[in-house]
Amino acid sequence: MSDWRARNHPAWWAFLVHRLSGLLLAAFLPLHFWALAQALRGAERLDGFLRWTEQPVVKLAEVGLVLLLAAHLTGGLRLLMLEFLAWREWQKGLLAAAAGTSLAAALVFALNVV
Amino acid sequence: MTRETEAMTESLSVSVWRGGAVGAFREYSVPRRASQTVLDVVTHIQRRIDPTLAYRFACRVGMCGSCAMTVNGVARWTCRTHVARVAPHGRLEIAPLANLPVIRDLVCDLDVFFEKWQRARGRFEPSAPASTDFARIAPDSGERRAAEAGIECIGCAVCYASCDVVAWNPAYLGPAALNRAWTLMNDARDAAHGARLRAVAGDAGCHACHTQLSCTERCPKGISPTAGIAGLKRMSVRALIRGAL
């Protein structure tokens, strides 16, 4: 099956968000470790890097990162609840809660940053 | 002009898949009628325009599960799908079901689909001889309710054609076979619970499901195969913890 028209429903979009956020977070991890590793090369290097992260564009990327983390976490909890709790008709409610919590988390982070 | 006569004068542009795995869409113009179903459209083409068109149907009332096709990109039972609901702009694209080999035009080979029911041990295996008295099952017991929720499957393969995991992993048993297995796992009279759980707990079984819910979204009978698959996941994890898998 390769037709987008068949996939245009909320749970499939939730799957896509979960998969993409997972891939992007995995791609981010090496960068994260590289940044931490700067500390091993001396305080000067780490401070230099941290000053670089003060740029608005990096701060904006951080908000995106928080959104990805929140989306992946709440998406994962949604799946665990769907699959391991007794089945009930709450799929769309869970999905809305996961999306709302993720956006709220990103918004709170963004407001703290500004 | 009444609404009905107005509808009668319009015509539908219909693209129909012609050929097998390799083929192309062919355009037809079909008169628009009131309360017209997609199956009516296909039947009109076959009877009035092109008798070589191959398609499959039997009951026309949503019982037999043989008329499922891909309508404007979405798998549907065509006998109970009204044109008015799926073609607001008078355009229809009708193709065979996805994820199944095409025999010709709109007819798919469902052998693989039903073989997977066998592989999921989707057959009732009695625990008592037929000569014994009726088994008494409380209608409001949890097991009976779980079986009831999935028992009305008509085997139309709409769920199977809608499932990405089937496309990605051709060995995956698919929503219908797993739903069938789930109903039997909730049947107190059935004697093959252990063997069936082993049959559905492998790589191509319930744990392959990504909970995209496309099957649940598309099932024309309103069944949620995802619910059954989640039930099998829970059941197999419990069995694993108990060392019974």
Q: Among residues of chain B, what percentage have pLDDT more than 90?
A: 90
Query: Which pLDDT score is estimated for B150?
Result: 96
pLDDT digits (tens, 9 = 90+) for B10-67: 899 999 999 999 999 999 999 999 999 999 999 999 999 999 999 999 999 999 999 9
Q: DSSP code of A3?
A: -
Q: Mutation target for A interface from B168, B206, B214, B219: give the one with most A CBs within 10 A.
A: B214
Residues 22-81 of A with CB under 8 A from B: 79
Cα B215 from Cα B167, distance rounded (Å): 13
Look at residue A2 in the predicted model and tell me its pLDDT.
Answer: 63
pLDDT above 50: residue B1: no
Angstrom CA distances, B3 to B7, B39, B89, B90, B224, stand at 6, 22, 16, 15, 37
- How many Å lie between the alpha carbon of A97 and the closest alpha carbon of chain B? 17
In a domain, A2, yes or no: no
A11 has a chain B CB within 8 A of its CB: yes
Mean pLDDT of B144-165: 97
Chain A nearest CA to B132, separation (Å): 34
User: Would the CB atoms of B214 and A91 count as touching at under 8 Å?
Assistant: no
The 3 state secondary structure assigned to chain B is CCHHHHHHHCEEEEEEEEECCCEEEEEEEEECCCCCEHHHHHHHHHHHHCCCCCCCCCCCCCCCCCCEEEECCEEEECCCCEHHHHCCCCEEEEECCCCCCEEECCEECCHHHHHHHHHCCCCCCECCCCCCCCCCCCCCCHHHHHHHHHCCCCCCCHHHHHCHHHHHCCCCCCHHHHHHHHHHHCCCCECCHHHHHHHHCCCCCHHHCCCCCHHHHHCCCCCCHHHHHHHHHHHHHHHHHHCCC
Please indicate whether, in this complex, the C-beta atoms of A83 and B75 are within 8 angstroms of each other: no
- Is A4 a member of any domain? no
| A69 within some domain | yes
Residues of A in contact with B75 (CB under 8 A): 6
Does some domain include residue A28?
A: yes
Per the CB < 8 Å rule, is A1 touching B217? no
Compute CA distances A24 → A4, A68, A105, whole Å. Answer: 22, 8, 18
B94: left (phi over 0), alpha (psi -120 to 50) or beta: beta
**Per-residue pLDDT tens for B174-230?**
999 999 999 999 999 999 999 999 999 999 999 999 999 999 999 999 999 999 999
pLDDT over 60 (residue A1): no
Domain membership flag for residue A73: yes
Residue A23 forms part of a structural domain: yes
With contacts defined as CB-CB under 8 Å, which chain A residues touch B70? 3, 6
**Structural tokens at position B138:** 């409380």
Q: What is the CATH number of the domain that holds A55?
A: 1.20.1300.10
Question: B152 — contact with chain A (CB < 8 Å)?
Answer: no
B162–A4: do the CB atoms touch at under 8 Å?
A: no
Q: Which residue in the set A3, A12, A82 is minimally distant from B230, CB to CB?
A: A82
Residue B156 pLDDT = 98
Q: Give me the mean pLDDT over the B136-148 stretch.
A: 95
Residues of B in contact with A91 (CB under 8 A): 213, 216
Quote the percentage of chain A above a pLDDT of 90: 83
Residue A108 has pLDDT above 90, yes or no: yes
pLDDT at B71: 98
Nearest-by-CA chain B residue for A4: B73
Give the number of C-alpha atoms closer than 13 A to the C-alpha of residue A43, restricted to the C-beta side: 0
ipTM summary value? 0.87
Q: Which residues of A touch B211 (CB under 8 A)?
A: 11, 15, 79, 82-83
pLDDT at B244: 87
Closest-CA residue of chain A to B234 = A84
Looking at residue B128, its pLDDT comes to: 84
Question: Residue A3 falls within a domain, yes or no?
Answer: no
Instruction: List B94's β-bridge partners, or say none.
Output: B16, B71
Per the structure, the count of domains in chain A is: 1
Find the residue in B nearest to A87 (Cα). Answer: B227
Q: What is the pLDDT of residues B79-133, one digit of tens each?
A: 999 999 999 899 999 999 999 999 999 999 999 999 999 999 999 999 888 778 8
Q: Is residue A29 part of a domain?
A: yes
A92 to chain B: nearest residue by CA? B213
Instruction: Report how far apart, in Å, the C-alpha atoms of B82 and of each of A23, A87, B56, B74, B90 are.
Output: 41, 31, 18, 14, 12
B230: tokens are 């989640």
Domain ranges, residue A30: 11-113
Q: What mean pLDDT do residues A22-46 have?
A: 92
pLDDT of residue B5: 46
Residue B4 has pLDDT above 90, yes or no: no
Residue in B closest to A82 by C-alpha: B230
User: Which residues of chain B have a CB within 8 Å of the CB of A5?
Assistant: 72-74
B2: pLDDT confidence band, cut at 50, 70 and 90? Answer: very low
CA distance linking residue B69 with residue B81, whole number of Å = 11
Quick check: pTM over 0.90? Answer: yes
